[in-house]
């Protein structure tokens, strides 16, 4: 946790009573709105204490939508700060100060937080030629068209400018030391000047060159949120699956003894729809080959659900039908065509405006009666891309 994070969390908890008091005492709101705001605010505080800052951010936004109170905005700033969103955090803290006033209980804490955020961030100014274009930073659309400035944390960022019939992208590395950086994006195929920065702590790297805009169709609209599922979802991964086959219950059968462990490797594809930004309905398909006796192969697929339980973590389950067949020292082993299940745990390693790169594991089985066929236990591991 960053320096001062513990104090921030405690301040969030301390202000819970104040914010709820404001919500309850404010006029012009229905009892239902007040109750919803109170419940959502309490839920947000619990999430802050548990370290689920994205969940807390959503809860505070929902609470403020039900019934506004300045202290809710202060806690929203705290959640944005913990998520590494310095501009959103500063906006929330400044909004609290403007509304609550200089003498409010949390104004001093908000003022200190603003100074600390600006001191460990880089002020990025994005200009475009021509001006007035849409700008996205790490997939998130900025409210204002270019030229526009915002605070960004130290590290790697992807800046995209989108015009009526063109799209330009630039990778930026910043150290986040209270410095400033200006970049200029132009339609592909035109000269791009070097970025201008206020100190040696910021380095801008132009994205690889692309052909003239006239040679390409107009780009698809950029997503409204950074790497958030919306509508049609598809992806592909390379997967390696260690497996073993259980022995049959038929005494004297050639495949009576268990076989393995061994491995197959191949491609896994996902196609489906995002029901919400946290829930996806997918068709999961996997086909693979192995190095053992020929032929050694596996194929399977079926419908499943994938749920995001935390900001970078997806879990899910799939009902599958398929088979796995091999030869072990000349003896056939396999499942025949049967049903089974795949579970899924994935971690987002890299986000782009158009999707996510995910590493995942899927403990799975294909179930047989163990009379003539062998039940297969396997765990595909993979890395791939899912596009939204």
CA-to-CA distance for 377 and 242, rounded, in angstroms?
9
d(CA 259, CA 34): 63
337-360 tens-digit pLDDT: 999 999 999 998 887 656 788 998
For residue 13, pLDDT beyond 90: no
pLDDT reading at 183 higher than 90: yes
Query: For 250-287, what is each residue's pLDDT tens digit?
Result: 877 888 888 878 899 999 999 998 887 778 899 989 99
Gyration radius of the chain over CA positions: 27
Give the CATH fold of the 121-215 domain.
Immunoglobulin-like (2.60.40)
Cα–Cα distance, 303 to 83 (Å, whole number): 33
Residue 220 in 3-state DSSP? Answer: coil
What gap in Å lies between CA 119 and CA 239, rounded to an integer? 44
| pLDDT confidence bin for 23, thresholds 50/70/90 | very low
Domain boundaries of the chain, sorted by first residue: 5-118, 121-215, 231-387
61: enclosing H helix or E strand: helix 53-66
Instruction: Look at residues 270, 234, 250, 258 and name the one whose alpha carbon lies nearest to residue 344.
Output: 270
For domain 5-118, give the fold.
1.25.40
Backbone angles phi, psi at 356, to 5 degrees: -140, 145
Number of Cβ within a 10 Å radius of residue 10 = 12
Q: What integer is the mean pLDDT of 308-315?
A: 85
**CATH architecture of the domain formed by 231-387:** Beta Barrel (2.40)
Q: Which of 306-315, 340-349, 378-387 is predicted least confidently?
A: 306-315
Label residue 138 by pLDDT band (50, 70, 90): very high
pLDDT in tens, 216-244: 444 444 443 444 555 788 889 999 999 99
159 neighbors 122 (Cβ within 8 angstroms) = no
């Amino acid at each position: 946790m960053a320096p001062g994070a513990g104090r921030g969390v405690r301040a969030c908890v301390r202000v819970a009573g104040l914010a709820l008091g404001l919500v309850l005492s404010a006029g012009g709101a229905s009892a239902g709105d007040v109750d919803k705001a109170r419940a959502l605010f309490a839920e947000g505080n619990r999430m802050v204490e548990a370290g689920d800052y994205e969940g807390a951010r959503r809860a505070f936004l929902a609470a403020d939508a039900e019934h506004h109170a300045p202290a809710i905005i202060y806690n929203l700033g705290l959640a944005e700060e913990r998520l590494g969103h310095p501009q959103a955090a500063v906006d929330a803290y400044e909004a609290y100060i403007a509304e609550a006033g200089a003498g409010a209980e949390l104004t001093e804490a908000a003022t200190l937080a603003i100074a600390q955020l600006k001191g460990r961030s880089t002020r990025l100014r994005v200009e475009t030629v021509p001006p007035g274009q849409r700008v996205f930073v790490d997939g998130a659309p900025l409210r204002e068209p270019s030229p526009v400035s915002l605070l960004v944390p130290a590290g790697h960022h992807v800046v995209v400018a989108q015009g009526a019939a063109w799209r330009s992208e630039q990778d930026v590395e910043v150290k986040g030391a209270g410095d400033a950086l200006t970049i200029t994006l132009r339609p592909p195929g035109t000269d791009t000047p070097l970025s201008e920065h206020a100190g040696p702590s910021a380095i801008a790297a132009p994205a690889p060159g692309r052909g003239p805009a006239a040679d390409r169709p107009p780009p698809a609209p950029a997503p409204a949120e950074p790497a958030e599922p919306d509508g049609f979802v598809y992806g592909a991964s390379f997967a390696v699956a260690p497996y073993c086959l259980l022995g049959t219950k038929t005494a004297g059968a050639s495949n009576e003894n268990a076989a393995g462990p061994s491995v197959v490797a191949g491609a896994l594809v996902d196609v489906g729809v995002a029901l919400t930004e946290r829930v996806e309905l997918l068709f999961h398909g996997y086909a693979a080959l192995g190095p053992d006796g020929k032929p050694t192969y596996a194929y399977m697929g079926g419908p499943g659900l994938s749920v995001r339980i935390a900001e970078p973590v997806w879990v899910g389950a799939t009902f599958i039908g398929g088979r796995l067949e091999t030869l072990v020292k000349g003896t056939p082993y396999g499942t025949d065509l049967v049903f089974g299940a795949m579970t899924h745990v994935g971690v987002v390693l890299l986000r782009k405006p158009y999707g996510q790169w995910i590493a995942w594991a899927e403990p799975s089985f294909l179930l047989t009666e163990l009379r003539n066929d062998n039940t297969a236990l396997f765990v595909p591991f993979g890395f791939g891309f899912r596009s939204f």
